Amino acid sequence: MIRLAHFLDGLRCSCCETLDALWLDPVRGLVECHECGQKASVLVDGLGLADALDSLDAVDAVGSCGGGW
């Protein structure tokens, strides 16, 4: 079975400073704190070529619509 999220052991949330509450969702490229709900976008190393191209298209689409960049 494939795990969709990975627990990030030993890291602290920069918002609420809770230790061991961060989870990485590599498919969506998000890290989320399960204590306060803060989310951050991340680049995940190890994507295949097709995944990398899809990610670049998504960034271009967000950037062109004024998504807060």
Q: What six digits make up the tokens of 24?
A: 């990485």
Phi, psi (deg, nearest 5) at residue 23 = -130, 135
DSSP conformation class of 12: B
Q: Is 31 helix (H, G, I), strand (E, B) or coil?
A: strand
Q: Is 40 helix (H, G, I), strand (E, B) or coil?
A: strand
Q: Rounded mean pLDDT of the chain? A: 74
Distance of alpha carbon 31 from alpha carbon 38, whole angstroms: 8
Top-confidence range, 2-6, 24-28, 47-51, 55-59 = 24-28
**pTM score above 0.85:** no
Distance of alpha carbon 36 from alpha carbon 33, whole angstroms: 6
